[in-house]
Structure 1
Amino acid sequence: MLEVTEPTAARSERSPGILRVWMVVTVFVVVGAAVPIGLHIERFGLDIGQVVLVAFTWVNVMIALWEISMNLRIALIERQHEEYVAEYRGRELDRVVDFLTARIRVREIVHPSTWAQVWSSYSLFDPAYANRKSFGFWVDSGNGYVTLIPSLLFIYGLTFDIMPARALGIMGLLVFWMMFYGTLVYYAAYFFNKEYVGHTRRNLVIFIGGTNSLWIFAPVWGMVVSVVLIETNSFAFLR
């Protein structure tokens, strides 16, 4: 559900903690991907195709949780965006560094407001993520709610017989196609509306090209795997 008003202060002082945001992100990605990859290696041996697909899909799980936080805290993001535009004008990269190196308490890890700052920071490069009327906001919110559970099923379905191979392939094909198509449309809208104006080439390569291109190339591999699962109704391709 979209939260129109934020029940807490728009921007409060972050409580000191022993962890940094980048540490939490790193542990979540590494440990979360290592578990299903390790289980797969234990049962069937190492398969690079499975490693690549699981690693990407697990990153999508993290992004999906962030996207749900964006949907729940859009009012907070809109207010932070206005503050950050004024504070970080001309040095947008500093905002990203400040967020990743900020201290965080354990209890703050599960707060949507914590991860809403991903989007208020990214909105300095693309203001669509601080605008509840934009395509970028809604397509990514949709990705969060729609792909979270299918992504988890696909990750573990490659190792355990959660569902028949053909059924898993159909689900995977739908999810990976949605990611691929959504990213292409996002790129088209971003450049058509000239949102890149005023940003350095380096920042655009990192935050627009580098981050989003993963959701083009990896879903292509996901669709290939899904088609094989559908055609063969077998997991032998990745086992």
Structure 2
Amino acid sequence: MLEVTESTAAHPVRSAGILRVWMVVAAFVLAGAAVPIALHIARYGLNVGQIILVTFTWINVMIALWEISLNLRISLVERQHTQFAADYRGRELDRVIDFFNAPIRLREIVRPSTWAQVWSSYSLFDPAYANRKSFGFWVDSGNGYVTLIPSLLFIYGLTFDIMPARTLGIMGLIIFWMMFYGTVIYYAAYFFNKEYVGHTKRNLAIFIGGTNSLWIFAPTWGLIASIVLIDTGSYEFLR
């Protein structure tokens, strides 16, 4: 079965059914972003800036849940990292593919142990995520707990008058700056400590550059939008 709670089996993906992990992830992102976007379009019409912000911030909601799983199941991640590092040496990309193609039962979708495997897989590229003393572990765990609720408020605050525009802008400024700053420091620590040694350029481009660069460019747009909300005191820019 997908979840591993005690053992560190090399291939903990024995489960029946048609659902795969990637299907659950895609459904979560598409459905979760579609709801606030559709509500916004129904009230104000299409706004590209709002769509970009909502889509990224909803992805951050998903990542925040994964990061909370990392925090709750760090012991599992540490054990799996040791096993996966041996079993997937030289073919780390296969571990990621195996995880996202793994069958998953409905009850496993809500288990932190399931999504902790995101990090035990990613830790093959950056072992900081299998080390509870590392900056990478704590900055991402912190992002999970601290940005989850503000992200949800920001998503729906762009459509519904949950709070004044300036207040939402200040909240957005805080959360997007935290994401941007954390990612810059993460890059600095990763390359300063030469964690890239032993990995192919392709894998680094995908898993270090590709995935993390989203948390550079999208928060930049979030910062700009938040500043406009603060400066104008109006939602017109995003409606």
Q: Which runs of 5+ in 2 are unaligned?
A: none
Count of residue correspondences: 233
Give the C-alpha shift of residue 15 in structure 1: 3.1
Matches within 5 A, 1:1-239: 8-11=5-8, 13=12, 14-239=14-239
SS in 1 for 2:109: helix
Cα distance in 2 between the residues matched to 1:162 and 1:209:
35
Per-residue deviation at 1:11?
3.7
**1:142 counterpart letter in structure 2:** G
CA distance in 2, matches of 1:10, 1:76: 9
Partner of 2:63, secondary structure, is helix
| C-alpha contact 2:20 2:101 (8 A) present in aligned 1 | yes
Give % identity.
Answer: 79
Equivalent-residue separation in structure 2 for 1:82 and 1:16 (angstroms): 27
Cα distance in 1, alignment partners of residues 8 and 82 from structure 2: 12
Dislocated runs of 4+, deviation >4 Å: none
Q: In the aligned structure 1, how far is the partner of 2:135 from the partner of 2:7?
A: 24
Q: Deviations over 1:125-144 (max 9, x none)?
A: 00000000000000000000
**Cα pair 2:8 2:83 within 8 Å, conserved:** no
Distance in 1, matches of 2:29 and 2:148, equals 15
Q: Distance in 1 between matches of 2:155 and 2:83?
A: 39
For residues 153-187 of structure 1, the C-alpha deviation after alignment (integer angstroms, 9 at most, x for no partner) is 00000000001100000000000000000000000
* Deviation of 1:9 (Å): 1.3
Is the alpha carbon distance of 1:217 and 1:139 closer, same or farther for their aligned partners in structure 2, counting shifts above 3 Å? Answer: same
SS of 1:199's equivalent?
coil
Q: Secondary structure at the match of 1:104?
A: coil
Which 10-residue stretch deviates more, 15-24 or 151-160?
15-24
CA RMSD in angstroms, aligned pairs only:
1.1
Counterparts of 2:27 and 2:193, CA distance in 1: 36
Structure 2 counterpart SS, 1:133: coil
Give the Cα separation in 2 of the matches to 1:17 and 1:217: 37
Give the partner amino acid of 2:7.
A
- In 2, the alpha carbon distance for the partners of 1:15 and 1:75 equals 23
Corresponding residue SS for 2:234: coil
Instruction: Name the SS of the counterpart of 2:166 in structure 1.
Output: helix
Q: With structure 2 as the length reference, what TM-score do the two structures score? A: 0.96
**Which amino acid in structure 2 is aligned with residue 229 of structure 1?**
L
Q: TM-score, normalised by structure 1?
A: 0.96
